[in-house]
A and B are shown apart, each in its own frame.
Chain A
Amino acid sequence: MWTLIQIELFKIFRRPRTYIAFAAITGLIGIIQFGLKLDGDSYVDFMMRDITSSITVEGKILNGYQVCYIVLQVLLVHVPLLIALVAADMISGEANMGTLRIMLTKPISRTRFLLAKFMATIAYTLLLLVWLAVLALFLNMILFGTDDLFLLKSQYVVLLKKDDIFWRYLWAFGFAALAMTTVASLGFLFSLFAENSIGPIVATMSVIIFFTILSTLNIPVFNKIKPFLFTTHMIGWKEFFDIKVNDANEAIVGSIQNPQKIINSAVVLVIHIIGFFTASVLIFKKKDVLS
């Protein structure tokens, strides 16, 4: 099995397409960093204009933790598109190249073959997130320094102490990994149905964009279906940055406002991953390879 995964990873990382996502993330983060380094204060003023009417916020708001949060908020909506680029190509790309039929005449069961490919896809997804963490968190911590994290939510603001943040980011990246794996498994499932990669890539992206829009729209009719869309649960990482308060409205350091919500979202995502992959195996086992 390890040999199989190794081979799949080798294939993934020998392809130029793989690096598009890494380059895109690097470029985007670079631009955000450049922009914030240059003109971050006016960005902060803009974000804060509502709160500064009654509260004076003092301190280094635009620190590495803040920049990381901004980057994640912006990027994690779009990283799924980059993941689709590789995940939705996993089977369809091989079918298109004609290598699928050679692979499948090798003495490896289809389930194992699929599992190896899936593992490799997840490994790719995780590596992409590690890269994201390196650039968005660690590089920003160096470039912008660390300090308290001041977050504006739609109903309230949250102030997290400097030493109460890093662990939240670790968990947030862990959660993001789960969310991105969901996307990868969806793309993976779609990649079974076509003999070129464009179709599954576009299909995966469309589903994500469509669901995300439904998740974002604040229309009562759609609110009923929101809990059933995996995209709604994909932003669960933000919950790690909400803190509990005691009766005196004093934030409890090291607490999370709604851990149950995170667990629920994680469960929903895991169910999606298992569901998508099981469907992939069932379909693939019966699939006639005609490419």
Chain B
Amino acid sequence: MHKLFLFIVSLHITIFSFSQDMTALIMKVKTKLDQVNDYEADGKMKTDVAFIKAPVGKVKVFYKKPNKFRLKKDGGISLLPKGGVSVNMNSIFTTSDFVALAAGDAVVGGVKTKVVKLLPSNENSDIVLTTMYIDETNLLVRKAITTTKENGTYEIEMSYGQFAQYGLPDKVVFAFNTKDYKLPKGITLEFDDNEKQLTDAEKLKNKKGRVEITYTNYIINRGINDSVFK
């Protein structure tokens, strides 16, 4: 009985201390990201969705604390995963109201990371769960998998370079689930039955879509007018 009590207490302590540890790590990362009040960056966006044929496009990205984010194409039309791209690391960390749980170690892109599961305490949050792969030594988030109520699950993978000190990635890859796409030929007014489209249809079996943004030219903490985000 005594032994059992001790075991339970020690278990509690273990979990508690473990959790505390992770929150600390998260807080450290957050502090690092907090140096950035706003930024503006140029990037190249590549959309890789089986049923989308789009060229690489130039984009401009704007961020302002606490959670204003906007991706703008230089004119033109942009195709973005629904709800996905607007989420960036900075805004994930805006709420301090979460539970962080350790979930072991993993290697992402050749870097050893800690896996942390973040659960928002707020019932109304769209985010259900975020799993983060954090590079402890550099305090950088290498990968995040977020499950949302409305927009499904998406995966964000980041690689860092020049702006690693601000926690800003050089390259971000969003991976997300897509639904089937098909329009009746009567609507698109297509006549022919192209056999080639069978291979296209096979492509569609891969329902993961990817959007890849390569950033250059961060302009950090120079102040951004709110009108940009409207």
**A residues adjacent to B (C-beta < 8 A):** 50-61, 73, 77, 147-148, 150, 152-162, 164, 215-216, 218, 223, 226, 231-232, 235, 238, 242-243, 245, 248-253, 257-258
Contacts and interface: CB of A to CB of B under 8 A. Distances in A.
Nearest to B176: A54
B147 interface: no
20 contacts: A51-B181, A53-B82, A154-B183, A155-B182, A155-B200, A155-B201, A156-B51, A157-B181, A158-B54, A159-B47, A162-B76, A164-B55, A218-B185, A223-B193, A235-B189, A235-B190, A242-B53, A248-B48, A249-B52, A251-B54
B191 A226 contact: yes
A53 B187 CA distance: 18
A57 B78 contact: yes
Interface string B139-178: 0000000000000100000000000000000000000111
A149 B19 CA distance: 51
Given A55-B82, A154-B188, A215-B191, 20 more contacts: A50-B181, A52-B82, A54-B82, A54-B179, A55-B80, A56-B82, A59-B75, A59-B78, A154-B185, A155-B182, A156-B50, A156-B51, A158-B54, A159-B55, A215-B192, A235-B190, A245-B53, A251-B54, A251-B55, A253-B55
Contacts of A215: 191-192
The 7 A-B pairs at the shortest CB distance, nearest first, are namely: A59-B77, A159-B54, A251-B55, A156-B51, A148-B76, A148-B77, A215-B191
B2 interface: no
A230 to B, nearest CB: 11
Contacts, number: 143
A215 B192 CA distance: 7
A147 to B, nearest CB: 6
Contacts of A238: 190
A55 B49 CA distance: 10
Most buried by B among A51, A243, A258: A51
Contacts of B181: 50-51, 155-157
B79 A55 contact: yes
A23 B183 CA distance: 33
Contacts of B55: 159-161, 164, 243, 250-253
Interface string B65-100: 000000001011111111100000000000000000
B104 interface: no
Contacts of B56: 250-251
Contacts of B81: 54-56
A45 to B, nearest CB: 14
A243 B53 CA distance: 7
A159 B53 contact: yes
Contacts of A249: 48-50, 52-53
A161 B76 contact: yes
Contacts of A60: 77
A52 B184 CA distance: 16
B130 to A, nearest CB: 20
B188 A152 contact: yes
Contacts of A154: 182-185, 187-188, 190
Given A54-B209, A147-B76, A159-B53, A232 B192 contact: yes
